[in-house]
Amino acid sequence: MANNPYSASNNDGPHDTDFKTSDQSKNESLEQFRNDAEGHDLRTNNGVRIADNHNSLKAGERGPTLMEDFIFREKMNHFDHERIPERIVHARGAAAHGVFEAYPEAEQYSKAAVFKAGKQTPTFVRFSTVQGSRGSNDTVRDVRGFATKFYTEEGNWDLVGNDMPIFFIQDAIKFPDFVHAVKPEPHNEIPQGQSAHDTFWDFVSLMPESAAMVLWTMSDRAFPRSYRSMEGFGIHTFRLVDKQGKSRFVKFHWKPLAGTWSFIWDEAQLLWGRDPDFNRREMATDISNGDYLEWELCAQIIEEEDEHKFDFDILDATKLIPEEIVPVTPLGKLTLNRNPDNYFAETEQVAFNPGHIVPGIDFTNDPLLQGRLFSYLDTQMLRLGGPNFKEIPINRPVTPVHNNQRDSFHRMTINKGQASYEPNSIDDGWPRETPPAAENGGFESVNERVDAHKVRGRSASFADHYSQATLFWNSQTDVEKEHIVQAYAFELSKVERPWIRERVIQQILPNIDLDLARRVGEIHGIEAPTEKPASAEELGKSTLTESPSLSLMARLPGNIKYRKVAILVADGVDLDQVTALQSKLKAEGAQGMIIAPTMAPVKASNGNTITPDAMLNGLPSVTMDAVLIAGGAQSIETLKASGQGRYYPQEAWKHLKVIGAVGEGKDLLEAANIRMDEGVLTGDTVDAIFDDFKKLLGQHRVWSRNPEANTQPA
Ligand code: HDE
């Protein structure tokens, strides 16, 4: 073959070197597929103009519809086929376009074009919940998917991560079992968007390796307040390969520039009814207002020679590497700045696959990752109807694509030439291979030596199932611990079979922490053991006793940027106060929303009018981060007389929110029986309360109120 001048091995390096991308490359490549109906005639799919889109063709006005009505048949036939299977997991999602810009530090670790200093790469990011169906709620207790497609100059790289750094299982072969257990139960399809049911707790209580991840999902991490305020993780250990061919291990992290903030459970549940689309609506609105979402992509870099220096195996996806042990290095910044034009075409049809990597990035032998490399490609075949899903506009790379793959359903490409094989002499040997290179080369796998017996089993280094669950528990603040206890208690209260509840409280929780088991046990009337029942191997060991970076509260930004604040008003409100509150919030990057009893323009005390953003029940307190009440005697009288007006601050108080009342505003607090504490601020002027308000909101909630709030109905 070597003597054949057309042999694939007879190549001379890259052939598409003049090919360059910009942050707009994907946007531009989508343009040819966009369809804007404005100014155009209504036509059939065959291009025939339609004269009447209201009446089918009948034999007489009251007669049967005629078979020959091709206009009716085409329309109905297309409609009947509109649905495709939803994703088996992560069915509910929302997405946005953006750009990733690499920092200069990134280039030293990876030769990938996406990490060239200053390089801007278009991206598409889909956030999702895992358990619920496409029509379920946004704010459920669940893991969130954080899947990013980088349309790089060297092909698509998909970083298909979650908002928690570990996973429930160690080996991909358990994934179908896990998903069957967590999904709505097979006999009645209950419950939707929740893990609070028998099959989930049955499975996880029999699978100690899931203990740490279940603990994460019982924490407030499980309902992020916003997509912009959640972290993301690649979970598995991957590899980065530099220009010299040196490979290092890497854990990817997305760090939100807005910091991390979450709902609390009662609030998240109420939102299911008040606004089931809360997270996706906010992201879309923020982007269209120019309030873009931002993260830093960070890496924990581990030299190959350090692979075995940890308390755990870095190939075990139920373990994280504490940031106190390996700090995170920022590699670049992601900005989500453009909403999709069409949900189905982009968000639904996007096909992620952790197997989509580019030169400079590689896999490891993590058995969970290895299994994913099969599953994602396989699932797209069913969901998107065959191997040509890569030609769907949102999935196309921005690079040219030439190969000898041909045909199948929905083929779009019109391949020219006679040769669809290689080597060939008929088409002069094209398309040809590119040898690996420091830059712009063909993909080459890391030359790892694998020399072993075939074995169906697990490494002894995967035996530790509890040390990191204990580490996570020890790293939480008292309020976070209390929320975790309440979460276990709530979930187990929905489990019908007593032996499953007992197994969790007596055989799983004590291995994490005896106090955790005792507290959940007390709520269930089940006695928890006083000794940890698991073996020393299962309990494992952790060099750290605490990892402060695991507490959500440690990651608060301290500012109030992007917070949504209700300003309660009614006729007779003091307009100067409203204007001052709004402009002070705006100066801090927060948003003041005018909320009134009705949508009618509000007549201020000085005779001017204000247009409300919403009614009291249109944007209830659960959709807001804090509440401000502007003064004005008549306005406060109206709010006092309204059940919703009094309920607004009550509910906000119950959810540990900061409340500020200016002037007569304090009378509404009194009428609503609001207990005064450090998070309830009153003053005669806006200036008198605003600085404290800002400081407290920077902590996201009034955490010190938690014990008192638990004693109050609302
Ligand atoms: Fe997934 N996962 N997964 N997963 N996953 C899917 O692929 C699978 C896992 C994640 O917005 C499916 O296209 C297996 C870990 C996200 O479109 C499917 C295993 C992590 C998304 C699949 C895992 C994820 C998916 C369903 C264990 C975090 C949504 C539809 C070996 C690192 C992507 C689809 C989107 C989706 C399989 C475990 C993240 C069936 C077999 C660990 C964010 O292929």
- Strand 591-596 relative to strand 93-102: parallel, antiparallel, unpaired? unpaired
Binning pLDDT at 50, 70 and 90, where does residue 331 land?
A: very high
Is the pLDDT confidence value at 629 over 70?
Answer: yes
Q: Give the chain's domain count.
A: 3
Report yes or no: 532 and 539 within 8 Å, Cβ to Cβ.
yes
Query: Which of 128, 160, 162, 343 has the most ligand 1 atoms within 8 A of CB, as the residue to mutate?
Result: 160
Report yes or no: 121 and 152 within 8 Å, Cβ to Cβ.
yes
Q: What is the pLDDT of residue 11?
A: 65
Q: What is the pLDDT of residue 712?
A: 87
Q: What is the mean pLDDT of residues 351-373?
A: 98
DSSP annotation of 308: T
Binning pLDDT at 50, 70 and 90, where does residue 543 land?
A: very high
Active-site option among 162, 339, 395, 424: 162
584 and 510 fall within a common domain: no
Q: What is the pLDDT of residue 19?
A: 77
320 and 176 fall within a common domain: yes
DSSP annotation of 674: P
- Among 346, 369, 395, which residue terminates a domain? 395
Which string of DSSP letters, residue by residue, matches 484-533? HHHHHHHHHHT---HHHHHHIIIIIHHHH-HHHHHHHHHHHT-PPPSS--
Instruction: Supply the CATH number for residue 524's domain.
Output: 1.20.1370.20
Asked if the structure places residue 440 within a domain, the reply is no
- Among 537, 554, 571, which residue terminates a domain? 554
Task: Report the Cα 574 to chain-centroid distance in Å.
Answer: 41
DSSP annotation of 43: B
Q: What residue has token string 């160690």? A: 170
Asked if the structure places residue 301 within a domain, the reply is yes
Tell me how far CA of residue 573 lies from CA of 50, 186, 317, 647, 650, in angstroms: 55, 55, 56, 19, 20
Q: Pull the structure tokens for residue 459.
A: 């490494």
Q: What are phi and psi of 472, to 5 degrees?
A: -65, -45
For the CA of 127, the nearest atom of ligand 1:
11
Q: Show the CA angle centred on residue 163, arms to residues 162 and 169, nearest 5°.
A: 55
Q: What is the pLDDT of residue 555?
A: 85
Q: What are phi and psi of 48, to 5 degrees?
A: -85, 130
CA–CA dist 511, 478 (Å, integer): 19
For the CA of 317, the nearest atom of ligand 1:
42
Please give the distance, rounded to the nearest whole angstrom, from the Cα atom of residue 89 to the centre of ligand 1: 7
Instruction: Supply the CATH number for residue 633's domain.
Output: 3.40.50.880
End-to-end CA distance of the chain: 80
Is the pLDDT confidence value at 528 over 90?
Answer: yes
364 and 237 fall within a common domain: yes
b/e code 442-460 from CB counts within 10 Å (16+ = b): eeeeeeeeeeeeeeeeeee
- Give the SS3 label for residue 305: helix
Q: What is the mean pLDDT of residues 452-456?
A: 96
145 and 271 fall within a common domain: yes
Is the pLDDT confidence value at 136 over 60?
Answer: yes
Instruction: Supply the CATH number for residue 305's domain.
Output: 2.40.180.10
The answer to whether 126 is a known ligand-binding residue is: yes
CA–CA dist 19, 397 (Å, integer): 13
The answer to whether 87 is a known ligand-binding residue is: yes
Q: Which residues pair with 58 in a beta bridge?
A: 65
Report yes or no: 254 and 150 within 8 Å, Cβ to Cβ.
no
Please give the distance, rounded to the nearest whole angstrom, from the Cα atom of residue 315 to the centre of ligand 1: 18
Q: Pull the structure tokens for residue 225.
A: 């307040």
Q: What is the pLDDT of residue 1?
A: 40
- Among 337, 360, 395, which residue terminates a domain? 395
698 and 663 fall within a common domain: yes
Q: What is the pLDDT of residue 4?
A: 55
**CA torsion through residues 43, 46, 47, 48, sign:** negative
477 and 607 fall within a common domain: no
For the CA of 375, the nearest atom of ligand 1:
44
The answer to whether 175 is a known ligand-binding residue is: yes
Looking at ligand 1, which residue's alpha carbon is closest to its atom 24? 161
113 and 138 fall within a common domain: yes
* Residue ranges around ligand 1 (CB below 6 Å): 87-90, 93, 126, 128, 145, 147, 160-162, 167, 172, 175, 235, 317, 352, 368, 371-372, 375-376, 379
Binning pLDDT at 50, 70 and 90, where does residue 713 land?
A: confident
Residue range of the domain that includes 339 = 93-204+222-395
Active-site option among 90, 197, 465, 700: 90
CA–CA dist 243, 569 (Å, integer): 61
| Residue 90 falls in the annotated catalytic set | yes
Q: What is the pLDDT of residue 14?
A: 78
Q: What is the pLDDT of residues 563-621, one digit of tens each?
A: 999 999 999 999 999 999 999 999 999 999 999 999 999 999 999 999 999 999 999 99
Looking at ligand 1, which residue's alpha carbon is closest to its atom 41? 372
Quickly count: other Cβ atoms within 10 Å of residue 383's Cβ.
16
Looking at ligand 1, which residue's alpha carbon is closest to its atom 18? 376
- Strand 232-233 relative to strand 238-241: parallel, antiparallel, unpaired? unpaired
144 and 293 fall within a common domain: yes
| Residue 162 falls in the annotated catalytic set | yes
Q: What is the pLDDT of residues 50-103, one digit of tens each?
A: 999 999 999 999 999 999 999 999 999 999 999 999 999 999 999 999 999 999
The answer to whether 6 is a known ligand-binding residue is: no
The answer to whether 411 is a known ligand-binding residue is: no
582 and 511 fall within a common domain: no
609 and 543 fall within a common domain: no
CA–CA dist 552, 216 (Å, integer): 11
Give the percent of the chain with pLDDT over 90: 96
Q: What is the pLDDT of residues 173-210, one digit of tens each?
A: 999 999 999 999 999 999 999 999 999 999 999 999 99
For the CA of 91, the nearest atom of ligand 1:
30
504 and 578 fall within a common domain: no
Q: What is the pLDDT of residues 651-710, one digit of tens each?
A: 999 999 999 999 999 999 999 999 999 999 999 999 999 999 999 999 999 999 999 999
Q: What is the pLDDT of residue 20?
A: 81
Give strand ranges (E) for 320-454: 329-338, 361-362
Q: What is the pLDDT of residue 6?
A: 58
Asked if the structure places residue 22 within a domain, the reply is no
150 and 244 fall within a common domain: yes
CA–CA dist 146, 160 (Å, integer): 6
